[in-house]
Amino acid sequence: MGFVTPDYGTIFWMVIIFGIVFYILKKFAWKPILNALKDREQSIEEALSSADKARKEVEGLKANNEKIVAEARKEKDMILKDAKELKDKMLAEAKEQASKEGQKIVEAARQQIEAEKKAAINEMKLQLTELSVLVAEKIIQKELKEKNVQEDIVNDLLKDLKIQ
- How many helices, marked H, and strands, marked E, lie in the chain? 3, 0
Question: How far lies 33's CA from each of 7, 17, 27, 30, in Å?
Answer: 34, 21, 11, 5
- Give the pLDDT confidence score for residue 3 in this predicted structure: 64
Core vs surface per residue 23-62: b (16+ CB within 10 A) or e: eeeeeeeeeeeeeeeeeeeeeeeeeeeeeeeeeeeeeeee
Query: Is 21 a member of any domain?
Result: yes
Q: Phi first, then psi: what are they for 146, rounded to 5°?
A: -90, 140
Give the pLDDT of the chain (164 residues) as one tens digit per residue: 456 777 888 889 999 999 999 898 888 888 888 888 999 999 999 999 999 999 999 998 998 899 999 999 999 999 999 999 999 999 999 999 999 999 999 999 999 999 999 999 888 888 888 877 777 777 777 666 666 777 777 787 777 776 55
pLDDT score of 6: 75
| Pairwise CA distance, residues 157 & 5, whole Å | 184
In degrees and rounded to multiples of 5, residue 144 shows phi and psi of -90, 10
pLDDT of residue 58: 92
2 domain-assigned: no
* Greatest C-alpha distance within the chain: 198
pLDDT for 161 equals 72
Residue 3, domain member (yes or no): no
Q: So what's the pLDDT on residue 53?
A: 93
Q: Find the domain containing 61 and state its range.
A: 8-163
Count up the domains in the chain and report the number: 1
